[in-house]
Amino acid sequence: MVAERQVLEIGIKKLRRYIRRLEAASQSRGDAAWEGEIPEPIEYTFRRLVVLSTNLANHLVARWRLPTPDDPRDVFAVLADADLLPIALAERLRDVAVLRASLAHGYGGISAETVRAWVPARLGDFAAFADAMAIVLLEE
């Protein structure tokens, strides 16, 4: 069985890898390439990034024995309340938890517009979350 700390460390590495893949994909394509259907590898990587981010946030809540949020969309706010994440970042990441529920539970698909809106504009939020998690682990 993998220790909880290792789960978080591996998760941070994966987050950073997904971010790099999406940054590279967005830099190598012009605006015209983002019209219409999103290439499958980009959509798949984006889905993984969203789901992994919220899963790791939930791991931190459990690891630190923080209050379980009444609404899953508030998992990042719980981390901010515990000073593990900046409040402004937690507010921006709230959308991630909403999107995760839709993706992970099949409530709806992911539109090309959603991917276009989040990649690359929101990759910095995911990178900031990975950095904040790494700092939390270093300070333990």
126: alpha, beta or left? (left if phi > 0; alpha if psi -120 to 50): alpha
- Find out whether 69 and 54 touch, Cβ atoms under 8 Å: no
CB 59 within 8 A of CB 7: yes
How does 63-75 read in b/e, with b if 16+ C-beta sit within 10 Å? eeeeeebeeebbb
Q: What is the pLDDT at residue 140?
A: 78
The domain that holds 26 is classified in CATH as: 1.20.120.580
pLDDT for the residue 45: 87
- pLDDT recorded at residue 32: 57
pLDDT tens for residues 93-128?
A: 987 767 766 666 655 566 777 777 777 778 899 999
Position 25 scores a pLDDT of 81
Separation of alpha carbons 135 and 133, rounded Å:
5
- Domain encompassing residue 54: 4-138
pLDDT of residue 101: 67
pLDDT at residue number 118: 72
Instruction: Check residue 9 and give its pLDDT.
Output: 95
Residues of the chain below pLDDT 70: 1-2, 28-36, 97, 100-110
Question: For the whole model, what pTM was predicted?
Answer: 0.84
Domain count, the chain: 1
